[in-house]
Structure 1
């Protein structure tokens, strides 16, 4: 059994892991897609439920890799995503 990953509480009360999987550079090369998806799935299998991504990573390609990796497992995943400043405003995210 994998060791338990320490968590921290966010201001709204949600407990999230302090260690997660990053997706920078994922989605840039279609030849690596299966390996990238499998790496994220393995992390989930090992108990790493936080995945960090951003719309600018591979122009959205990383988000597509994440979507494939968490299909059917969304309820056990905490996603962290970033948006380009041009897509955010005080009114919200576009």
Structure 2
């Protein structure tokens, strides 16, 4: 499925999506793992190509 998410162009010339999926609260509770994986899969299925994560989210659990 081709992505229909709008992009913007950085000064470097690289095009990046204007909308991404965040993972800030993911990885904090093992009981929610399957639900979180399904949410990420849905985002990918809908054309998301930008997933925001960071080492500090759930002490690395969101990565």
Structure 1 length-normalised TM: 0.61
Structure exhibiting the larger radius of gyration computed from Cα positions: 1
**For structure 1, which runs of at least 5 residues remain unmatched after alignment?**
64-94
Q: Which structure is higher in RCO with an 8 Å CA cutoff and minimum separation 6?
A: 2
Larger relative helix fraction: 1
**For structure 2, which runs of at least 5 residues remain unmatched after alignment?**
none
Larger relative strand fraction: 1
Aligned length: 63
Structure 2 length-normalised TM: 0.88
Q: Runs in 1 of length 4+ with deviation above 6 angstroms? A: none
The alignment yields a C-alpha RMSD, in angstroms, of 1.7
